[in-house]
Homo-oligomer: A and B are copies of this chain.
Amino acid sequence: MNTKLTVREQVLDHAITLMMLRGYNGFSYRDLSELVGVKTSSIHYYFPSKDDLVLEAVKQYSDEVVQALQAVDPALPADQKLAMYTRFFGKTLGDGNQICLCGMLAADIETLPEAVREAVQAFFRTNETWLAKVLAQGVKEGTLVARGKPESAARTLFAALQGSVLASRLFHTKTRLEDVEAMWKAAP
């Protein structure tokens, strides 16, 4: 059991949540201070600058997503893999109107240091690569449809998912995310 989180872990978790809600420029050390219950100077002890904090946040978030992808049973049919992925992608919407951290940081990217850009790029590539394999499998099986190369189809699919969580939150509905999934599923 790991019920007791260290201060550092709590800070990082709240930072991720806040950024997924309001973006990098929409939260402060003070917000974290109030949420965790320590002074801002204590947070600076763990994360000297906000740049350090966001970089660690991206790393942790990426690791969590990678683990979730690896946890998907390879034996499943591709359409079920995509359904799981879509559900996972939209989960944080219901949790509190949050969108993918790396989608959000992509919007804020021009205000962030180069190291963060590289980390976010790596996240994009990891997801796109995973989706490309799922699409290739789905085409072979006949459970999914994808025009052109799986790689470019995967980039388009990933972009559509990122755009759709944005729209889903904007309109307070999840149907836009479901529209995307339906578009890649083979007709029954």
- By a beta-carbon cutoff of 8 Å, the part of chain A in contact with chain B is 21-23, 25-26, 97, 99, 103-104, 106-111, 117, 120-121, 124, 145, 147-148, 152-153, 155-164, 166-167, 169-171, 176, 179-180, 182-183, 187
CB-CB under 8 A for A160 and B166, given A97-B110, A111-B23: no
List the number of copies, as a whole number: 2
| Seed contacts A109-B169, A152-B182, A163-B164; 17 additional CB < 8 Å A-B pairs | A22-B110, A25-B25, A26-B110, A99-B107, A103-B107, A107-B166, A110-B169, A117-B170, A120-B170, A121-B170, A124-B170, A148-B183, A152-B183, A153-B183, A156-B160, A157-B160, A159-B166
Interchain Cβ contacts under 8 Å between A and B, 20 examples: A21-B110, A22-B111, A23-B23, A23-B25, A26-B111, A103-B107, A104-B107, A106-B170, A121-B171, A124-B167, A124-B170, A147-B183, A152-B182, A156-B164, A156-B179, A159-B160, A159-B163, A160-B163, A162-B162, A162-B166
